[in-house]
């Protein structure tokens, strides 16, 4: 969703505009175009980031493949070191597909506070990359509505580091399918050739992501009508998914291709009657124990009532 060029065009890109027009929401989306202007990390946004413990990062591995990875730490691990500079005091570790990722590439970050159902998207360019820390030169920073965020209280894991036991393969195993079918939350990474990388949150009732013959699909729920993710996919089908299990610390990362199917509103599988279903075909799978935050054991996650975006 972002550009690494100083002369990047303002507003929506071609893919976003095409999806907005096809969905019939171009007028509504135009009112939000100002959110895509160059952003700064000041005031309430900076304070929000300082209090968080979890984020998901979209970037490319050394082989060029797109992935989404979890990042976490105690409050303060996300530090605004300048109005357009974010220091992340965490980095993808050994076993993570984004371990040893290169600086100078586009990156997308979504930061979620599940307890209050708040989220912020930050897009820009990876600056300094060090073991255990990253720097992001911020180009866009804006909040998204709380819709579909499952409420849970996350706390960082402070025990000694354990072997993440990441297994790489080119297909889904039965335990992977079981995790997906029980998930109420996942993260999707997409990219655009001129606007860079983007990370986004998706949530719904457990089971809203289906698996059939090695392909995943899910209904596209109504949102803010910006269509950052589907707009990227309209131009570049490369996509990555992250399924976190907040109870066990297990992670499932998928890298592959996605496409949007336009259906009659309310067709089978179109749970929200938007007329859109997203299909994802994984090419590479990484399963392990990379999540360093856990959900409290006494809370009962629920699918929240719809909130206006």
pTM of the model: 0.93
Q: Among the residues of 64-165, which ranges form H helices?
A: none
Cβ–Cβ contacts within 10 Å for residue 156, how many? 15
Assess if residue 125 is contained within a domain.
yes
How many residues belong to the chain? 309
Assess if residue 30 is contained within a domain.
yes
Assess if residue 8 is contained within a domain.
no
The answer to whether the Cα torsion of 64, 122, 226, 187 is positive or negative is: positive
Q: Count the domains in the chain.
A: 1
Distance CA 268, CA 186 (A): 22
For residue 258, give its domain range. 14-295
Assess if residue 144 is contained within a domain.
yes
Q: What is the mean pLDDT of residues 224-228?
A: 94
Q: What is the mean pLDDT of residues 124-151?
A: 93
Assess if residue 307 is contained within a domain.
no
Q: Please, which pLDDT band fits residue 197 given cuts at 50, 70 and 90? A: very high
Q: pLDDT tens across 67-88, in order?
A: 999 999 999 999 999 999 999 9
Assess if residue 221 is contained within a domain.
yes
Q: pLDDT tens across 83-137, in order?
A: 999 999 999 999 999 999 999 999 999 999 999 999 999 999 999 999 899 999 9
> According to the model, what pLDDT value does residue 10 have?
60
> According to the model, what pLDDT value does residue 266 have?
94
Closest CA to 218 of 183, 189, 250: 183
Assess if residue 259 is contained within a domain.
yes
Task: Report CA 117 to chain centroid distance, whole Å.
Answer: 15
Assess if residue 300 is contained within a domain.
no
Q: Among the residues of 91-195, which ranges form H helices?
A: 174-182
The CATH number linked to 230 is: 2.30.110.10
> According to the model, what pLDDT value does residue 300 have?
47
């Amino acid at each position: 969703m972002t550009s690494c060029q100083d002369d990047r065009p303002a507003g929506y890109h071609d893919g976003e505009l095409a999806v907005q027009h096809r969905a019939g929401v171009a007028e509504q989306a135009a009112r939000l175009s100002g959110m895509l202007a160059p952003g700064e990390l000041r005031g309430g946004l900076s304070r929000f980031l300082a209090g968080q413990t979890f984020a998901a990062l979209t970037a490319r591995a050394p082989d060029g493949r797109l992935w989404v990875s979890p990042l976490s730490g105690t409050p303060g691990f996300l530090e605004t070191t300048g109005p357009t500079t974010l220091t992340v005091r965490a980095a993808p570790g050994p076993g993570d597909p984004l371990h040893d990722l290169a600086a100078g590439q586009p990156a997308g970050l979504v930061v979620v506070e599940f307890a209050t159902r708040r989220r912020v998207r930050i897009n820009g360019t990876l600056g300094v990359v060090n073991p255990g820390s990253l720097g992001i030169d911020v180009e866009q920073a804006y909040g998204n509505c709380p819709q579909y965020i499952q409420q849970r209280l996350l706390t960082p894991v402070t025990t000694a580091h354990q072997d993440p036991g990441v297994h790489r393969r080119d297909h889904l195993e039965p335990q992977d399918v079981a995790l997906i079918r029980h998930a109420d939350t996942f993260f999707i990474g997409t990219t655009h050739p001129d606007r860079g990388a983007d990370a986004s949150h998706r949530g719904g009732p457990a089971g809203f992501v289906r698996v059939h013959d090695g392909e995943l699909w899910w209904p596209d729920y109504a949102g803010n009508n910006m269509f950052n993710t589907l707009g990227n996919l309209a131009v570049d089908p490369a996509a990555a998914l992250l399924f976190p299990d907040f109870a066990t610390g297990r992670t499932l990362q998928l890298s592959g291709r996605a496409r949007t199917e336009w259906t009659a509103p309310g067709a089978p599988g179109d749970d929200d009657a938007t007329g859109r279903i997203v299909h994802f075909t994984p090419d590479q799978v990484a399963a392990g124990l990379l999540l360093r935050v856990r959900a409290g054991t006494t809370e009962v996650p629920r699918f929240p009532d719809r909130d206006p975006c």
